[in-house]
Structure 1
Amino acid sequence: MRRSRIRSAVVFFVATLLAVGGVLTVTGEAAAAAVEDEGADCPVSVPGSWPSTAKLPDPFKKIDGTRITAKADWRCRRAEIKKLAERTIYGEKHAKPASVTGSVSNTGITVNVSENGRSASFSAGVELPSGTGPFPAVVVVGGFGADTATIKAAGAAVITYDPLAVGKEGTPRNNKQGAFYSIYGATSSTGLLAAWAWGVSRIIDVVEQSGGRILKPDALGVTGCSRYGKGAFAIGALDQRIALTMPIESGTAGVPILRGIPGESGSQPLSNAYGEQPWFGDAFSAYTGNPGALPVDTHELVALVAPRGLFIMENPHVDWLGARSGSVAALAGAEVYKGLGAGENITYWSDVQDGTHCASRPEWRTPLQQNIQKFLLKTGSAAGTFRISAKKAGNLAEWRDWPTPTLTDGPGTTTPTTPTTPLPVGCTATVSVNQWSGGFVTTVRVTAGAAPITGWTVTATLPAGAAITSAWNAGRSGDTGTVRFTNAGFNGNLGAGQSTEFGYQGTGTGTGTTATCG
């Protein structure tokens, strides 16, 4: 499902656009490059209760219990996940207010908001790269932890966003402060992360209204580290106009699965994160001791970003950050990317040497450039990759009991096959390897032949010196040489021509691995 197929039509100016002295002052509406929430028109009825489960909820299963079968179904399934996440994790991120005005200049953005007789204003800084605009831009939440030199060298502007002006930390939950709460009330049950996301959405509104003279409204990214990594993740999940989301070392309340935090030694407890700052919505208090009762988890927040660009950066050297749970969230969320045919749009990278929190890391520089080129400049095509540190490698098979469907391109359509060339009986295995210096991740796709199968075994022969350190979605015997993988309980039954995938991470060289299925 490509962005060009799901975006709304261009709308015309209904108010004035005035350019004065390099500053674009805007009021009302202008041409929109995308929409904040494509599923806003989907009917979503949130139930009063839902079953508790220790496993990660099935992102492909709708509230009514049926599973989606087509890529077109994802729009409204996404709306369900978003609504459940707001109800239990974030609190409501309110839609665009009645009035949003402001200005865009070479050095800054101003935002003025009015709703129901209440008004608020805030601003953001702008640093332009060299060259001639208009420029794509990356919103840097909190102003630190991001490699802004690489961002600008790649040709993107930097928008420095102070989220505390929109949702202030250090305030009690019954007296929240900042521009968001000036509009919606100091006792709003919405947490800071959703409030920060709302603030970036209003910045995007102003950039859209400016007509793209300085900044391109259809080429915007977001990044931030630590607590601001939590914010960057929420911003990208909750506004579909963000083309590239890049959370850094986000920790609890960010990318790591909430169900995994209690069992990950040294990670910030849910109750601690809830009490440290009002990042979560108030309703999350009911789940700090029982995350299994949540109807969603962060792998589905990863899925909210799909099929847009997502580059997750994590630090396995600091236990507090919960990187093992982060890798599980990324692996599970990547299944939605694969289902949408966009598996190349997600990158996860925790294989770093320096353990300093929020450091600028050389390992991330090249994928950062590649993601900016691909999703903001529209000049690159590098496929996403997973580089999971052996120190904090999660096992997805332990956390899910649902298969990844093969979603059709539209209602009633299927992938065509050539009727004169029957598929072989049994199964086949194909191998894909992401290799780096000293390690690799291998994905194996198992495909049934002309008849259904009720179980499978894949025999893989690894190159000399290669050793498996972890695997997911399959059982295995052995770590080196010839290794046998068997299906998990949820992915052994395949219809004729259907496929499933499992994977493993290892040290050494994975290139040259061969595999057979029987």
Structure 2
Amino acid sequence: MRFQRYRPRMLMVAALLGVASLMTTAVGAQAAVPTVGGEDDGADCAVPSPGNPGGNAKLPDPFTRIDGTRVTTKDDWRCRRSEIKKLAETYVYGEKHGAPQSVSGSVSRTGISVNVSDQGKSAGFSASVQLPSGSGPFPAVVVFGGFGADTATILASGAAVINYDPLAVGKEGTPRNNKQGAYYSLYGSSSSTGLLMAWAWGVSRIIDVIEQSDGSVLDAGATGVTGCSRYGKGAFVTGAFDQRIALTMPIESGTAGAPIFRGIPGESGSQPLSSAYSEQPWFGDAFNPYTGNPNGLPVDTHEIIGMVAPRGLFLMENPHIDWLGARSGSVAALGGAEVYKALGAGANISYWSDIQDGTHCAVRSEWKAPLQQSIQKFLLNTGSAPGVFRVSAGKSGDLGQWRDWQTPELTG
């Protein structure tokens, strides 16, 4: 891993990249907290076959459907999101199996047990719980892997912490033809679904169990997710693919996380796509042909961010470590913010890479206040979202260089 250290400067995105409209939205009227619905509210949408994805060096237009027409209303986004979901599953992450035939388990003040049966097979896993002071029921943040997240601030803000071990659901260190963990016990060790999507599936099953509980400990309608590094990748994918998650907070997610795939080859020192593909089975198997040709993908991560919209999103990145691709991450955030803006929810996305300490997965003072604000807004329904973009001068991307489309004014 290479390190690049320099004196960071604080620059607001409006001044740096000329996106004053984004900043106006962020500091203006606050969007309402989105209503938490089902795991996939667009499951009934008819999604056409993507056909030959072709190639485009620019970021795909998130507002143009597979059939070439553009969305014109906010209601249109529901089924356009389903198209992006299908493209991401087909070309990037692999399929996320839907709700299993049976999910059962228990929720206590110290832990959650999950038992799943599907297609004649069964698997189970568990997670520990830490509660804040008070009597509850509490909102909760699922913390991937037990490190990198500011759990003290999460608890002090009034949210519980669910300590989730994703390796119990999708184990690292396994070959692609012999994947292990609860997900693969159900759907086969040779499943083409990558670990990130398997991890996301595990969080969805935890939410299933919370929904089935009596609601005395945890509030099923107020769940967040966070994690750092490889677990930041998992948190990113999890929040995109389960619309019950009210707040998504990936930290230093790097390649296979938030940074745009198209930007990685041109960002010096960033982890190559081929390296991320081979390091662990994070990506789905179908991503292999695109490790050297990301321009051939019909989807990119700014659209995965768009899948989260209009729900709460706080992206945290580290510009001091080149390997993490923070410049490509800033472009993804700016592109995804266009979806938020079009949906009238510009304040619901925040991005912060302007930090002093370059230590990987450190708890940072700069992120504490926006973290608290995000939890209060999206999990406790009080106060205002931070709605802020703070981009490091050394790792600032220019969305204008990456798009040939404009953001529509969606009606409705």
Q: Quick check: TM above 0.5?
A: yes
Cα contact 2:50–2:87 (8 A) shared by 1:
no
1:282 corresponding residue in structure 2: 285
Cα contact 2:254–2:271 (8 A) shared by 1:
yes
Provide closer, same or farther for how the CA distance between residues 116 and 382 of structure 1 changes in structure 2, counting only shifts above 3 A.
closer
1:103 corresponding residue in structure 2: 106
Which structure 2 residues correspond to residues 213-292 of structure 1 after superposition, within 5 A? 213-292=216-295
1:393-445: CA deviations, max 9, x gaps?
00000000000000001xxxxxxxxxxxxxxxxxxxxxxxxxxxxxxxxxxxx
1:43-62: CA deviations, max 9, x gaps?
01222212200000000000
Provide the rounded CA distance (Å) in 1 between the counterparts of 2:312 and 2:101: 30
Provide the rounded CA distance (Å) in 2 between the counterparts of 1:277 and 1:387: 31
Which residue of the other structure, out of 283, 291, 300, is the alignment partner of 1:297?
Answer: 300
1:80 corresponding residue in structure 2: 83
1:363 corresponding residue in structure 2: 366
Which residue of the other structure, out of 178, 197, 201, is the alignment partner of 2:200?
Answer: 197
Which residue of the other structure, out of 65, 70, 78, is the alignment partner of 1:67?
Answer: 70
Q: What secondary structure, in the 3-state scheme, does the structure 1 residue paired with 2:57 have?
A: coil
Which structure 2 residues correspond to residues 408-487 of structure 1 after superposition, within 5 A? 408-409=411-412
2:155 paired with 1:130: no
2:378 paired with 1:389: no
Q: Which runs of 5+ in 1 are unaligned?
A: 8-32, 410-518
1:117-165: CA deviations, max 9, x gaps?
1000000000000011000000001110000000000000000000000
Q: Which amino acid aligns with 2:332?
A: A
1:442 corresponding residue in structure 2: none
Q: What secondary structure, in the 3-state scheme, does the structure 1 residue paired with 2:358 have?
A: coil
Q: What secondary structure, in the 3-state scheme, does the structure 2 residue paired with 1:219 have?
A: strand
1:380 corresponding residue in structure 2: 383
Provide the rounded CA distance (Å) in 2 between the counterparts of 1:214 and 1:351: 36
2:161 corresponding residue in structure 1: 158
1:306 corresponding residue in structure 2: 309
2:190 paired with 1:187: yes
Provide the rounded CA distance (Å) in 1 between the counterparts of 2:385 and 2:332: 22
Cα contact 1:46–1:84 (8 A) shared by 2:
no
2:48 corresponding residue in structure 1: 45
Provide the rounded CA distance (Å) in 2 between the counterparts of 1:42 and 1:2: 25
Cα contact 1:2–1:307 (8 A) shared by 2:
no
Provide the rounded CA distance (Å) in 2 between the counterparts of 1:115 and 1:220: 25
Provide the rounded CA distance (Å) in 2 between the counterparts of 1:47 and 1:268: 28
Q: Which amino acid aligns with 2:145?
A: G
Provide the rounded CA distance (Å) in 2 between the counterparts of 1:397 and 1:211: 49
Provide the rounded CA distance (Å) in 2 between the counterparts of 1:167 and 1:231: 11
C-alpha deviation, 1:188, in angstroms: 0.2
1:175 corresponding residue in structure 2: 178
Cα contact 2:370–2:386 (8 A) shared by 1:
no
1:462 corresponding residue in structure 2: none
C-alpha deviation, 1:34, in angstroms: 2.3
C-alpha deviation, 1:381, in angstroms: 1.3
The structure in which a higher percent of residues are strand is 1
Provide the rounded CA distance (Å) in 1 between the counterparts of 2:238 and 2:175: 23
Give the superposed CA RMSD.
Answer: 1.0
C-alpha deviation, 1:383, in angstroms: 4.0
Provide closer, same or farther for how the CA distance between residues 402 and 130 of structure 1 changes in structure 2, counting only shifts above 3 A.
same
Provide the rounded CA distance (Å) in 2 between the counterparts of 1:163 and 1:49: 34
1:457 corresponding residue in structure 2: none
Q: What secondary structure, in the 3-state scheme, does the structure 2 residue paired with 1:352 have?
A: coil
Provide the rounded CA distance (Å) in 1 between the counterparts of 2:259 and 2:369: 24
Q: What secondary structure, in the 3-state scheme, does the structure 2 residue paired with 1:189 have?
A: coil
Provide the rounded CA distance (Å) in 1 between the counterparts of 2:325 and 2:335: 16
1:337-356: CA deviations, max 9, x gaps?
00000000000000000000
2:322 corresponding residue in structure 1: 319
TM-score, structure 1 as length reference: 0.73
Q: What secondary structure, in the 3-state scheme, does the structure 1 residue paired with 2:288 have?
A: helix
Q: Which amino acid aligns with 1:340?
A: L
Cα contact 1:166–1:199 (8 A) shared by 2:
yes
Residues paired across the two proteins, number:
382
C-alpha deviation, 1:204, in angstroms: 0.1
Q: What secondary structure, in the 3-state scheme, does the structure 1 residue paired with 2:86 have?
A: helix
If asked which structure has higher relative contact order (CA below 8 Å, sep 6+), I would say 2
Q: Which has the larger radius of gyration?
A: 1
The structure in which a higher percent of residues are helix is 2
Cα contact 2:125–2:168 (8 A) shared by 1:
yes
2:116 paired with 1:113: yes
Runs of 4+, deviation exceeding 4 Å: 1-4
Which residue of the other structure, out of 123, 144, 148, is the alignment partner of 1:145?
Answer: 148
Q: Which runs of 5+ in 2 are unaligned?
A: 1-30
**Percent identity over paired residues:** 75
2:409 corresponding residue in structure 1: 406
Q: What secondary structure, in the 3-state scheme, does the structure 2 residue paired with 1:236 have?
A: helix
Q: What secondary structure, in the 3-state scheme, does the structure 2 residue paired with 1:388 have?
A: strand
Cα contact 1:142–1:161 (8 A) shared by 2:
yes
Provide the rounded CA distance (Å) in 2 between the counterparts of 1:195 and 1:383: 31
Which residue of the other structure, out of 52, 55, 60, is the alignment partner of 1:57?
Answer: 60
1:330-389: CA deviations, max 9, x gaps?
000000000000000000000000000000000000000000000001111134110000
Cα contact 1:349–1:364 (8 A) shared by 2:
yes
Provide the rounded CA distance (Å) in 2 between the counterparts of 1:108 and 1:46: 42
Q: Which amino acid aligns with 2:180?
A: Q
Provide the rounded CA distance (Å) in 2 between the counterparts of 1:388 and 1:315: 10
C-alpha deviation, 1:304, in angstroms: 0.4
Cα contact 2:114–2:205 (8 A) shared by 1:
yes
